Amino acid sequence: MRRVALFDLDYTLLDFDSDHAWGEFLCDRGRVEAARYRARNDAFYADYRAGRLDMDAFLRFSLAPLGALPYADLLDLRREFMASPAARAVKSKAPELVRSHACAGDRTAIVTATNCFVTEPFARLFGVQRLLATEIETRGGRPTGAPLGEPCFREGKVAHVEGYLRSFGGSLAECVFYSDSANDLPLLERVGRAVAVDPDPRLETEAIRRGWEVVSLR
């Protein structure tokens, strides 16, 4: 049986939150109103860590620059972001973990709530076969600043993974899912093997209670 290895991105493979870091980068480059944007970015990030994020409100906020800035500028900014120190904090053991699954013949996918524009370069960096992320509406080949479909967040991650599995007749029982966050409990509860990676306190408590593996990639 060919397994499916699913990886959360932020604070699982990376040692930072790519969504929050992208917002900070836009502030530093003067592409948004820095003081106001940074305050809201920090507030949404705190809500996410506390498990109370209003995803719809966050997406209206975080995707707005993608609809407001020229697309060519966005691509240049993303390249600059990926070359910045902020985007280089990959957990030391993360690349080898992904490679080990690929070498074993497993299908590999990143499953992240962060939008696809920000996370596509990280999917290429880790060499996974598939990126499952919050999708963005496009018009005329450029982002509109609105989400498309169900966000890949909490129960939405389950829906995105199930859609991916249907494409090749796979099942959740064949999946291993690595995550740091209690926000991912809906998917962790459904897969055949759940692994808590450098978990937040809520996930660590649940992982110990349920007998899940707890590992560190640092």
> Which is catalytic among the residues 10, 19, 106, 184?
10
**Are residue 201 and residue 96 in the same domain, yes or no?**
yes
Distance CA 216, CA 218 (A): 6
CATH code of the domain covering residue 50? 1.20.1440.100
Q: What is the pLDDT of residues 57-97, one digit of tens each?
A: 999 999 999 999 999 999 999 999 999 998 999 999 999 99
Number of domains in the chain: 2
Is 54 annotated in the active site?
no
Is 47 annotated in the active site?
no
Distance CA 131, CA 57 (A): 23
**Are residue 96 and residue 193 in the same domain, yes or no?**
yes
Last residue of a domain, one of 32, 53, 87: 87
Nearest of 130, 129, 131, 128 to residue 119 by alpha carbon: 131
**Are residue 116 and residue 192 in the same domain, yes or no?**
yes
Mean pLDDT across 128-145: 96
Last residue of a domain, one of 42, 71, 87: 87
Q: What is the pLDDT of residues 159-216, one digit of tens each?
A: 999 999 999 999 999 999 999 999 999 999 999 999 999 999 999 999 999 999 999 9
Those residues whose C-beta lies under 8 Å from the C-beta of residue 74, and which sit 6 or more positions away, are 65, 66, 117, 143
**Are residue 169 and residue 81 in the same domain, yes or no?**
no
**Are residue 30 and residue 67 in the same domain, yes or no?**
yes
Decide: residue 200, CB within 10 A, 0-12 exposed, 13-18 middle, 19+ buried.
Answer: middle
Q: What is the pLDDT of residues 103-135, one digit of tens each?
A: 999 999 999 999 999 999 999 999 999 999 999
**Are residue 41 and residue 124 in the same domain, yes or no?**
no
> Which is catalytic among the residues 8, 19, 106, 180?
8
**Are residue 100 and residue 70 in the same domain, yes or no?**
no
Give exposure, 133-155, as e/b (b: 16+ Cβ within 10 Å).
bbbbeeeeebbebebeebbbbbe
* Residue 184, amino acid: D
Name the residue with tokens 């080990």: 100
Decide: residue 87, CB within 10 A, 0-12 exposed, 13-18 middle, 19+ buried.
Answer: buried
**Are residue 147 and residue 209 in the same domain, yes or no?**
yes
CATH code of the domain covering residue 142? 3.40.50.1000
Q: Are 178 and 171 in contact (CB under 8 A)?
A: no
| Domain extent at residue 49 | 18-87
Mean pLDDT across 1-18: 95
Q: Report the predicted TM-score, pTM, of the whole model to 2 decimal places.
A: 0.97
**Are residue 43 and residue 66 in the same domain, yes or no?**
yes
Token pair for 106 = 């497993």
Q: How sure is the predictor about 2, in pLDDT bands with cuts at 50, 70 and 90? A: confident
Last residue of a domain, one of 87, 115, 144: 87
Q: What is the pLDDT of residues 22-53, one digit of tens each?
A: 999 999 999 999 999 999 999 999 999 999 99
Element (H, E) at 25: helix 18-28
What's the confidence (pLDDT) of residue 86? Answer: 87
**Are residue 52 and residue 119 in the same domain, yes or no?**
no
